[in-house]
Amino acid sequence: MTSWQIYSGCRRPHDGVDRLPAPPPWRTFTGGPPLGTPQGDSGNQHAAVSYRPGKDAVRQVNAALYLRRPLLVTGAPGTGKSSLAYAVAHELRLGRVLHWPITSRVTLRDGLYAYDPLTRLYAAERARPGGTGPQPDDIGDFLRLGPLGTALLPYERPRVLLVDEIDKSDIDLPNDLLTIFEKGSYELVELARRAEPTARVMTADSTTDRVEIRDGTVTCRAFPFIVMTSNGEREFPPAFLRRCVTVDLKQPAGVDELTAIVREHLGGVVGAGEGRQDDTLPEGVRRVVQRFFERRGGGLLANDQLLNAIYMCHHASFTERPETVEELADQVMPYLSSEPTRSDDA
């Protein structure tokens, strides 16, 4: 029997997304004409093929795909929140991930589109009689869709949008997103006000390839797969949370899981499997992994600190005394806070 899961975490590209059933009646969108998925990989091939999703992550990714809902991913730094988006795009062949990094100054409009009226005014002046530019006024030259605006174009397959660190946003942004997530559409005000509200505009993918916007409105066809990451620096309103599928990523519970992560990311660098019958990591690497695990009880550490320490120690001092290796590893792995690292068995 074929599994109900579209995304399996196998890291092998396939067309399983085409098996998705029709969306729930309240999540059906009818934008058009349909657009094909852009060619190319996810945009971060290393993250896509080295990420090891847990069972909870796989299950919740599939729930978000079936329900056409955003996925809110929480967890400590270094748990792979952003990598999950690239892993899904890679396995399901959904093209390049659209990345929208969030700061306290970001607004909903920044994610939808940008309009440059000053440059357009300058171009219009040049195009007047006696000016130096003969080209006519084309509003599409001054409109570019942002990551969210591009993701909501009427693609036949869902685009992957990574909304990175949404907990750093202004307090109003999560609520502002609710209407967009529910409607699956938005209006380009500057275009809708024109007598001819149709134009070919630039997208977040390219400034050369254009898409046609009709009647000043963009409506999605396949609701995008949206990954919103949060480091837990704020709480979100209930109205926002109930419209999301949520998953909390924790640190690996033991040395074996940490070793597997190191092998995925750095096996080729440190020589795992070279001259061996298995893929056992070298002794120096295993010492650093053990050191990382032992130090987690003293404060918050992130997995990427472990990878940095192993890479440095491999090139600098694995040939030196064990205590020298540990000293260098500790310097590359400072505590991020005094709070102990969370794990699955915490």
Per-residue pLDDT tens over the stretch 111-132: 999 998 787 777 777 766 655 5
Dist. CA 7–CA 12, nearest whole Å: 10
Closest by alpha carbon to 198, among 20, 33, 14? Answer: 33
Per-residue pLDDT tens over the stretch 75-113: 988 889 999 999 999 999 999 999 999 999 999 999 999
Across the range 18-36, mean pLDDT stands at 95
Whether the pLDDT of residue 243 is over 50: the answer is yes
Q: What percent of the chain has pLDDT over 90?
A: 57
Burial per residue of 185-209, b for 16 or more beta-carbon CB atoms within 10 angstroms, e otherwise:
bbebebbeeeeebebebbbbbeeee
Q: What percent of the chain has pLDDT over 70?
A: 89
On the question of a cis peptide bond just before residue 34, with omega within 30 degrees of 0, the verdict is no
Dist. CA 310–CA 306, nearest whole Å: 6
Give Cβ neighbours of residue 259 (< 8 Å, ≥ 6 apart).
281, 286, 289
* Architecture of the structural domain at 16-249: 3-Layer(aba) Sandwich (3.40)
Whether the pLDDT of residue 321 is over 80: the answer is no
DSSP state of 65: H
Residue 321 in 3-state DSSP?
coil
Domain-by-domain residue ranges, the chain?
16-249, 255-270+279-332
Whether the pLDDT of residue 247 is over 60: the answer is yes
Per-residue pLDDT tens over the stretch 187-228: 999 998 888 889 999 999 988 889 999 999 999 999 999 999
Dist. CA 140–CA 210, nearest whole Å: 9
Model pLDDT, residue 130: 55
Task: Tell which wins on pLDDT, 22 or 140.
Answer: 22
Structure tokens at 45: 């091939």
Q: Compute the mean pLDDT over every residue in the chain, rounded to the nearest whole number.
A: 88
Beta strands in the chain (DSSP E): 71-75, 98-101, 113-115, 143-145, 160-164, 185-187, 199-202, 210-213, 217-219, 225-230, 245-249
Model pLDDT, residue 273: 47
Dist. CA 114–CA 124, nearest whole Å: 19
Closest by alpha carbon to 299, among 54, 75, 76, 73? Answer: 76
Q: Up-side HSE of residue 183: CA atoms within 13 Å toward CB?
A: 12
Dist. CA 305–CA 282, nearest whole Å: 19
